[in-house]
Structure 1
Amino acid sequence: MSKPSTASGVPDELQRRLGVSDAVVVGLGAMIGAGIFAALAPAAHAAGSGLLLGLALAAVVAYCNATSSARLAARYPASGGTYVYGRERLGDFWGYLAGWGFVVGKTASCAAMALTVGSYAWPGQAHAVAVAAVVALTAVNYAGVHKSALLTRVIVAVVLAVLAAVAITALTSGTSDTARLHIGSDASFGGVLQAAGLLFFAFAGYARIATLGEEVRNPERTIPRAIPLALGITLVVYTVVAIAVLTVLGPKGLVDAAAPLSDAVKAVGADRLAPVVRVGAAVAALGSLLALILGVSRTTLAMARDHHLPHALAAVHPRFKVPHRAELVVGAVVAILAATADVRGAIGFSSFGVLAYYAIANTSAWTLTPAEGRPNRIIPAVGLIGCLVLAFALPTFSVISGTAVIALGAAVHWARRALDAHSAS
């Protein structure tokens, strides 16, 4: 694969500054974020006492996606993630479609995370706080990815401490009841699938590691190690927290909870911990937003290099070595959405787009040869089928809107190709 170049012919590349620990932290910052604070109640509403089954199913699909992504990222260590993999393995159209799904879906995720920050930090001014958060974190990313990784490390440490406090408080209280974990008659197969699709939203951050492939040292070794590590840590944390909340509130109480983790600590009499949980949720959402803006801007950079987006967005800052124009444009779009969007709609739409993105990643991984590091064929097969099933198990509005936007992206691509062919003739 040729190296991107400036008009002068000098390679226009990002600097490789991130090691394994930095890459893991970036992935954790994207995954252990607002998802665990926000997704449990909607998932319990869908699956009832089958919530843990939904979590397990989401984890299986996420593991397959992570493995496929890691093998592909080691083979193609460039910014863009599945946009690059789909282009190289399946053709220009599929790469474009993956990039389109990622940029559009994750832009919606950015808005959802920004609104989560506002809802926890200052409920009465959620939209204003959301916009301020987007502006501040865009400025951090503009200053350089290494600084972003350092800030993410601090955020992850704070969030893990808060989640540990919630789990320990809930599991050691006298009101905990492990019988509430029993899977009862309220758990339907369709409900478990929908819960898995909603919970997948909280797992999807490991893509950030792959999209930073051009900024990772020794990517052939670093990325395949960092992605499974980040996913494994996240799964352990989510499972412990979900069990803790269920043993205190039970499935019905979890469905009715506006802020499940805060309600759980209040239910066991630890009211003083509730404000800490709110702060932790806001900090977690900031961590997710930081990593999301990183990933979207890098995919935008890759698509701009190939003229699928305006080529001006492919510029890399001469001092900070970041795609500064892409970051500014992404930040501006997210700020507009954060000022106007609804968080629930943004999350559902994002889940559909991201699952479509990973379906292309698994298909790309299927085409790898053993010499290229292909995973066992069962992994991309399960990942592909899982992504499609979970995507179409989402709420109807999410499926319809997601399908419409993906179709719009495809139509734009073919219209542009037809125009180029006409101009050439």
Structure 2
Amino acid sequence: MTPQALHRHIGLFALVIYGVGDILGAGIYALIGKAAGEMGNGIWMAFLASMVAAGLTGLSYASLGSRYPRAGGASFFTHHAFKSNFLAYVIGLAALSSGVTSMAAGSRAFAGYFTTLVSAVPVDLVVVTFCLVLAGVVIRGIRESMWMNMLCTGIELGGLLLVISVGAKFIGSVDYTSTVTVANPAGDLSFSLILSGAVLTFYSFVGFEDIINVSEEVKNPESTMPKGILLAVLIASTIYVTISLVAVSVIPAAELATSSAPLVDVVKRAAPWFPPIAFAFIAMFAVANTALLNFIMGSRLIYGMANQGLMPKVLGKVSRRRTPYVSSLAVLGFMLVLALTGNIASLARATSVLLLICFMMVNLALVVLKYRKGEPKGRFEIPAVVPVLGTVVCALMLSYAKIEEIKVAGAILVVIVILYFVIRPASISSNPANAD
């Protein structure tokens, strides 16, 4: 192990917790209401469709992760498959942009919850403190980050399990095939309706791809990575589908769609004895967990891109505790700028579009590598039809994205392209032999 290598602290259990915590995130606490507005009682179908898209791409990530356990994720895979500095740079920064946008949105959401409990504290002060604490944990070390992740995931998961436990007795009380909404009064169920709903609910599944970016800190990554990704997606999918069934069973879909805190309202209705303020704390931990894991992802992605030559070499430096501290400070700066401007709503809407583009490239990369002569196999191999289907499903979902989301994502990609031609990255190393 070279002096610049990261430290391998993460086992399978910690990796699954990392993945589950990242996928569950904060989105489900608000997204369930928006999904009910589009799908009525049939929101479980949208979650199942999203699960298929996430599952297919997750299999591709798992296979690539078993071949090349490298920080850099989608950027590394793209370059190794297509030998294109340009594509690797664009895909890497697209993934980074989605993560940092999510962190910035999360910091303001955390501040919003916090100031409802302690109104005397200025929002911007909470935002800055929140960002600095996250940076301190990440720079301190991956072990400390994993402990914080386990704590937050436990509380976050506990909140969702509470919803399931208090609402389970209501299951079976409604027609789960009804898709009647204000926009769809006849309740017409179509393939296009399910796909449109899936684009919305897909945001709840993003996060499994972040697992790849801690590959260099995972024990026995060739076998641990695929198991971690697949178990995380499976566990999160089961929770999502169950939550969607419980939510529309407790509260009518039309009422759920107008709620600003749908899961809080579900608990109020199903368990009026439970103190609502406790759910505010749970939501704060969910937001903090999402931001923490995106921070880890962003710092490792920049570190990996620096080692490839796509970023300045200084961003690839690690501390004596084997953490990429310079790239972590870069993420902190980027996060603070976005969070303090507060101008992040339109950027957040483009996250799913950017990630769907990244996922298409990852699936295509696996297809190319599977048919390249002399390319080594991994411990987890899948048929070529899986990444092909993953590409098709991602493309279908992109075709149902709203025009505003596509415009914002397109604007971000234009900025990334301009940066590429301004910076002119050096020749990249994508030699898998450098993984350790």
TM-score (norm 1): 0.90
Q: Tell me if structure 2 keeps the 8 A contact 1:102–1:354.
A: yes
Q: Tell me the equivalent position of 1:132.
A: 129
Tell me, what secondary structure is at the counterpart of 1:313? helix
Structure-2 residue corresponding to 1:423: none
1:357 matched residue in structure 2: 358
Structure 2 distance, partners of 1:149, 1:161, is 18
Within-5 A mapping of 1:55-134: 55-91=47-83, 92-123=85-116, 126-134=123-131
User: Residue type of the partner of 2:198?
Assistant: A
The structural deviation recorded for 1:181 is 5.4
The CA deviation string for residues 14-64 of structure 1, in whole angstroms up to 9 with x for no partner, is 111111111111111211220111221222233334322211111000001
Q: Give the fraction of aligned pairs with identical amino acids, expressed as a percent.
A: 24
CA distance in 1, matches of 2:99, 2:268: 33
Q: Which residue of 1 aligns with 2:160?
A: 163
How far apart are 1:352 and its partner, in Å?
1.5
Question: What SS class does the counterpart of residue 175 from structure 2 fall into?
Answer: helix
Task: Report the Cα distance in structure 2 between the residues aligned to 1:290 and 1:250, rounded to whole angstroms.
Answer: 34
Of 179-188 and 262-271, deviating more is: 179-188
Cα offset, 1:143, TM superposition = 0.3
| Cα separation, partners in 2 of 1:242 and 1:308, compared to 1, 3 Å | same
CA contact (8 A) 2:347 2:408 kept: no
Work out whether residues 262 and 274 of structure 1, in 8 Å CA contact, stay in contact via their aligned partners in 2: yes
Equivalent residues in 2 for 1:228-307, closer than 5 Å: 228-268=230-270, 270=272, 272-307=274-309
**Structure 2 partner of 1:324:** 325
Q: Secondary structure at the match of 2:323?
A: coil
User: 3-state SS of the aligned residue for 1:368?
Assistant: helix
Structure 1, gaps ≥5 residues long: 4-9, 421-425
Are the structure 2 counterparts of residues 333 and 187 from structure 1 closer, same or farther at C-alpha, using a change threshold of 3 Å?
A: farther
Aligned partners of 1:382 and 1:408: how far apart in 2?
30
Shift of 1:368: 3.0
- TM-score w.r.t. the length of structure 2 is 0.88
Whole-angstrom CA distance in 2 between matches of 1:395 and 1:403 = 12
Which residue of the partner structure matches residue 372 of structure 1?
A: 377
Letter paired with 2:403:
T
The alpha carbon displacement at 1:162 in A equals: 1.4
Name the CA distance, whole Å, in 1 between partners of 2:307 and 2:248.
48
Offset at residue 335 of structure 1 (A): 1.9
Deviation per residue, 1:279-323 (Å, 9 max, x gap)? 111111111111100001111111222332222211111x22111
Distance 2:278 2:17 in 1: 22
Which residue number corresponds to residue 6 of structure 1? none
Residues 24, 135 of structure 1: alpha-carbon distance in 2 compared, 3 angstrom cutoff: same
Q: Does 1:204 align with 2:196?
A: no
Corresponding residue number in structure 1 for 2:28: 36
Q: Deviations over 1:131-160 (max 9, x none)?
A: 322211111001001111111111111112
Aligned mates of 1:343, 1:353 — CA distance in 2:
15
Q: Could you list the per-position Cα deviations for residues 262-288 of structure 1 after superposition, in whole angstroms to 9, with x for gaps in the alignment?
A: 111222352534222221111111111
| RMSD, matched Cα | 2.3
Task: Give SS of 1:288's match.
Answer: helix
Q: Answer whether contact 1:265 1:271 (CA < 8 A) is retained.
A: no
Which secondary structure state, in structure 2, belongs to the residue aligned with residue 321 of structure 1?
A: coil
Equivalent-residue separation in structure 2 for 1:261 and 1:170 (angstroms) = 11
Aligned residues: 410
Distance 1:176 1:118 in 2: 38
More helix by share: 1
Task: Decide which of 389, 393, 408 is 1:382's aligned counterpart.
Answer: 389
- Give yes or no for contact 2:92–2:305 (8 Å, CA) kept in 1: yes
